[in-house]
Amino acid sequence: MTQKMNVSGLLPNPPTGGILENIQSYLKNSGIPSYRFQQLVYSLQQGCIDFKDAKELPKPLREQLISEFGTTPIPLHIIESHSSKQVEKVLFETKAKAKIETVLSHYRTGWTSMCISSQCGCGLGCSFCATAAMGLMKNLTADEICAQVFHPYWQKRLPDSIAFMGMGEALANPNIFTAIEAFTAKGYGGISQRRITVSTVGFAPNLEQLVQKYPHVTITLSVHSPFSKQRAELIPLENKFPLADNLAVLNSYVKAFNRKVYLAYLLIKGINDTDEHLNALVDLIKSQYRPELYHVSVIRYNNALGANPAYQQPSAEGISKFVERLQSQGIHATRRTQFGSGIEAACGQLHAKYEQKRKGNK
């Protein structure tokens, strides 16, 4: 590529706080013309991993960048990958050796959706979750969150949609705001806010911030039990930010933006699948402002390494009945499609298996 190539639309304003912003200001302060930064962005979009391979840039500038920022601006490398017909799953490692999971699902319609991690491990201790057993190792930086999507492993294929549903509680990590800025930036990610889903167990203050800053991002709030005491056993964060506080945020959001919101309900056999639960869930939704804008995604519990061993997977029939009975009471409800149980695609599972294997080899 020569200087004449038009790269002017490429990320003129990189997201605040990420490495690209640092590189841009470094180049500016060094008196290097701005198109050099955009040539670098172009190289990254073409699948370049190391500065030395950014052939659009002159060699002395590549060397200058290496001495200033290290060999690569991409902070993740691949430890393991697994593929099935519908799912590709990657275990990445950060420069600090933290391991995180990313899953790309392929749907029959040709649609692709990427499930990304926001933290390595998680400190919120939900009793049904494999990631909880690891505890919180670190909040991912915005660059680490973005690299899961932009990594050259995917061969320049950006997913049609992105979901913060991998390891970690997305709203416990403020860096997701910078990452969303990068995903939606024109000339970079270019992904519509509507195609980004943030899933949360209910981090109410940051949920409020999210809906104000990115009102078109899709929100999924985990309910898992309509009863506060039981919900706190499943999701201890209930004790700090109760479901009612989170629903209050969502009600104001629905009022202001007329947008649909999703409530996740993880169905666990004999725990939260009784008539009493179903009726209380229906009443809860009907008591919201515009209940027709609330959609319940019922998820079948998969036995997870490190989760409470008393929890059991419900039968396929049990889950279908639960969904049908919600629907018969006027609630919008569907069963969430889950791919990849054969390759441990549930959140935290691949990491747990990797650690198990590693310890077994010692």
Residue ranges in contact with ligand SF4 by CB under 6 A: 122, 124-126, 129, 131-132, 167-169, 201, 347
Beta bridge partners of 87: 105
Residue closer to ligand SF4, measured from CB, 36 or 351: 351
| Beta carbons of 26 and 196 less than 8 angstroms apart | no
- Between CA 160 and CA 189 the distance in angstroms is 11
CB nearer to ligand SF4: pick between 38 and 102: 102
Q: How far apart are CA 329 and CA 360, in angstroms?
A: 50
Determine the Cα–Cα distance for residues 91 and 116; give it in Å rounded to an integer: 11
Instruction: Please state the closest distance from residue 274 (CB atom) to ligand SF4, in A.
Output: 22
- Quick check: is 48 catalytic? no
Strand partners, 219: 198
Which tokens belong to 218? 């899709």
Q: Give me the least distance between CB of 347 and ligand SF4, in Å please.
A: 6
Taking the least distance from each CB to ligand SF4, the nearer of 48 and 170 is: 170
Q: Which residues of 8-25 are buried (b: 16+ CB within 10 A; e: fewer)?
A: eebbeebbebbbbbebbe
Catalytic residue of the set 115, 129, 146, 347: 347
In the complex, the smallest distance separating the C-beta of residue 100 from ligand SF4, rounded to whole angstroms, is 12
Shortest distance (Å) from residue 312 CB to ligand SF4: 18
Pick the closer one to ligand SF4 by CB: 266 or 278. Answer: 266
Region class of 125: left (phi > 0), else alpha (psi between -120 and 50), else beta: left
Measured distance CA(61)–CA(35) in Å, rounded: 13
Pick 138 or 332: Cβ nearer ligand SF4: 138
Of the listed 56, 88, 101, 181, which one is catalytic?
101
- Cβ-based neighbour number of residue 330 at 10 Å: 12
Query: Which stretches of 160-315 are assigned E, i.e. beta strand?
Result: 161-164, 196-200, 218-222, 261-267, 294-300
Q: Fill in the DSSP letter of residue 161.
A: E
**CA distance readout (Å), 164 to 27, 43, 179, 316:** 32, 27, 11, 26
DSSP β-bridge partners for residue 89: 82, 103
CB of 198 to ligand SF4, least distance (A): 12
Query: Could you tell me the smallest distance in angstroms from the CB atom of residue 251 to ligand SF4?
Result: 22
In the annotation, is 347 catalytic?
A: yes
CA distance 150 to 156: 7
Looking at beta carbons only, is 133 or 285 nearer to ligand SF4? 133
Which residues belong to the active site? 101, 347
